[in-house]
Chain A
Amino acid sequence: MIRLEGLTKRFGEREAVCSLSLEIARGEVFGLLGPNGAGKTTTISMMIGTLPPTSGDVHIDGKSLVDDPSLRRRVGVAPQALALYEDLTARENLAFFGGLYGLGGRELNAAVDGALEMVGLRDRAGDRSETFSGGMQRRLNLAAALVHGPDVLLLDEPTAGVDPQSRNSIIELVRSLKARGTTIVYTTHYMEEAQKLCDRVGVMDRGSMLALGTIHELLKDHGGDSVVVYHDEHGEQKIVTRDPAAEVARLIERGVRSGLRIDRPDLESVFLNLTGRALRDGGAE
């Protein structure tokens, strides 16, 4: 469905994205993980055609996005910053953006209603977006990317700075879009979101793709060992092991039960192992 071929972007001497190549299948939710400054947004900008690559290309169903700008009609984008007209109502915002994609009349009205329904803002359709809470504005931002019914959706940090309720709502929405067969590229630095949503994840840092695979594969290959923790007469004890289940069984046999738990590797530890630093360190992109 989407193929990135040696995608590179240089700003002067600085290489923001270095020869990125990957393929994303139809209906897949692909997570692009990395700290601020990793090159995620630059990659997304090249994928949507607003930033010309220094070299390389983006293909959708085999057609180059650089050569065929009409492919943009099939792509929806929810940028990291809220991109809405605050003085327009939710309906007017969506009608305007839908109209830019060639929708009109009843088709546009139906599309606007559908998008408002999907993000749970139907009852606030006539209110100006400036009156919305941060979470509601995020959902409207997402609706503006959906209104023309794209089959590729690029979501750049869609849950940044939102309340837990809106975050859950957005996650549910992404799941329902995946169920409909929409191909989604999802950038985030929230590991738990990526683990919940993504079929595959690419870990980026300093413009390079450090690792790529399913969550299971990444944990297996880069997550490191599990840690079994328990308490005895000397205090808290930790055992680093590849086979935590066997280790726990052995401890129970010895009669150790106090404070017994397993700390399994997660994407955070994947990132730590790959880069030597925590995911949420990093400077501005």
Chain B
Amino acid sequence: MNAIIRIAMKDLRLLARDRADAFFTFVFPLLIALFFGYVFGGGDGERSAMPVAVVNEDGGAASKWFVEQLSKAGGIEAKPAETREAGERLVRKGDAAACVIVPKDFEDSTKKVFSGGGMQLEAIIDPKRSAEAGLLEGRLNELGFRQLARTFTDSSMMNSFLDSAREDVSKSTGLSPLQKGIFGTFFDSVSSLTREVTSKSAPGETMNGAVGESGGGFRPVTVTMHELRMDPNSPNNSFAVSFPQGVVWGLMGCVMAFGVSLVQERRRGTLLRLCVAPITRNQILLGKAAACFASCVIVQVILLVVARLMGVRIGHPSIMASAVLVSSVGFTGVMMLLAGLSRSEGAAQGFGRALLLVLALIGGGSIPLFFMPRLMQQISSVSPFKWATISIENGLWRADGWDAMLLPGGVLLGIGVIGFLVGWAAMRRWSPT
């Protein structure tokens, strides 16, 4: 055991000393994970229209107008949804950044603009797209101002609102008769002003620009924001998608670094020194495998620690621990296979890297598995990286429990054992000289 540990420690030290290997094993996967995390999560930069699910629970004229205006608003792509649940589903699937709900009493709330109320809206937002939610709130307020301007240019609507306001004032017990009189005079003045404006306006002309610009701190729309109830079966933020991708590249780095190092040992003659020492071939190979296994675990732990710092929730720590272990076993087997079947350093570097690159790409290294077309998802089953990705996703956000670990875990363990045995058999035939 001592010899195995010594060989493993020596290999880890060599990995740390080789800047290129260390970069591709530990840093590159991190960069990939962060890059794709920002790409999926939406960093700053040019955006296309923000998809927003819209649920109209009110159905009145005012709400229909509001929804219509929301659809026409620049920068927003309104996606009608029948129910609140349907809208929420669109957000959860990532098809919409938020869901705007026009509630049942919207029509009534528009009449409360002059009596301390205001238009009431609700929005369900995806917490990982909070920047877009802020933008949405601004656009909703802008539409509120337009609604207000529309009220001023429509005397019947205004009279209806003023009647409602007069009724509220007259019923109010907190106002003195003098105050009620002042409000009455004000409402009469507004009513005559509205009539005058309407008579001078061309048909269809509104005052929205002027009202919008003079709005100051007045907010005609109150948007009640609700965060999307987290579905444990979906990633809690974009980094929860990109970090399993980072794991793919980290595992590839480990396989390449140690696969090539075994071939190098033979070419550089150090394998001869290992073979003449009073240790067995099995100890040498186990030492190599232990170093690769440790390196696979280390790179995954580093990625997960950074993922946590980026707000990724590890939903199932025990499943995650087993995912890290089975992935490490699987890719240690891949490393042994690569080293055993590569006759030269060039073969390991060239053929090995090319093959692994293709497997990594189809296994979720560039595009998350659940984004892939169904056929591609089926093809990707040949890639051990796919099973590692699924395992890690099981630990992060897939809430399918231990049952869901059986297949990817079994595949990875199988790859690990078969790869180790085939590689071991091939390497036992190696001549150290």
Contacts and interface: CB of A to CB of B under 8 A. Distances in A.
Interface string A74-95: 0101010111111110001000
Contacts of B274: 100
B278 interface: yes
B270 A87 contact: no
Interface in B1-46: 2-3, 6-7, 10, 13-14, 17-18
Interface in B181-202: none
B279 A77 contact: no
Interface of A: 41, 45, 48-51, 69-70, 72-73, 75, 77, 79, 81-88, 92, 96-97, 99-102, 104, 128, 144
A88 B277 contact: no
Given A96-B6, A100-B279, A85 B270 contact: yes
Contacts of A41: 433
B358 interface: no
Contacts of A100: 3, 6-7, 274, 277-279
Given A51-B431, A88-B17, A77 B276 contact: yes
Interface of B: 2-3, 6-7, 10, 13-14, 17-18, 268-270, 272-280, 431-433
A81 B10 contact: no
10 contacts: A50-B276, A50-B433, A69-B278, A73-B278, A79-B272, A79-B433, A88-B14, A96-B10, A102-B278, A144-B273
Contacts of B14: 85, 87-88
B273 A88 contact: no
Given A84-B270, A97-B273, A50 B279 contact: no
A49 B273 CA distance: 11
B432 A50 contact: yes
Contacts of B431: 50-51
A88 B278 contact: no
A244 to B, nearest CB: 44
A50 B277 contact: no
A128 B13 CA distance: 13
B433 A45 contact: yes
Nearest to B275: A50
Most chain B CB atoms below 10 A, which of A41, A45, A70, A83: A83
B273 A79 contact: yes
B273 A77 contact: yes
Contact of A88 (B7, B13, B269, B279): B13
Given A73-B278, A96-B6, A87 B269 contact: no
A208 to B, nearest CB: 21
A101 B277 contact: yes
Contacts of B277: 72, 97, 100-101
A156 B269 CA distance: 13
A101 B279 CA distance: 8
Contacts of B7: 100
A86 B275 CA distance: 19
Contact of B10 (A83, A86, A88, A101): A88
Contacts of A88: 10, 13-14, 17
Contacts of A48: 276
Contact of B13 (A49, A81, A92, A97): A92
Given A50-B275, A102-B278, 12 more contacts: A50-B272, A51-B433, A83-B268, A83-B269, A83-B270, A83-B272, A84-B268, A84-B270, A87-B17, A97-B277, A100-B279, A101-B278
The 8 closest A-B pairs by CB, nearest first: A83-B269, A100-B277, A81-B269, A87-B17, A73-B278, A72-B278, A83-B273, A99-B6
Contacts of B432: 50
Nearest to B11: A85
Nearest to A89: B17
Contacts of B279: 100
Contact of A81 (B2, B17, B268, B275): B268
A158 B96 CA distance: 73
Contacts of B272: 50, 77, 79, 81, 83
Nearest to B3: A100
Contacts of A77: 272-273, 276
Most chain A CB atoms below 10 A, which of B3, B13, B275, B276: B276
A260 B272 CA distance: 52
Contacts of A101: 277-278
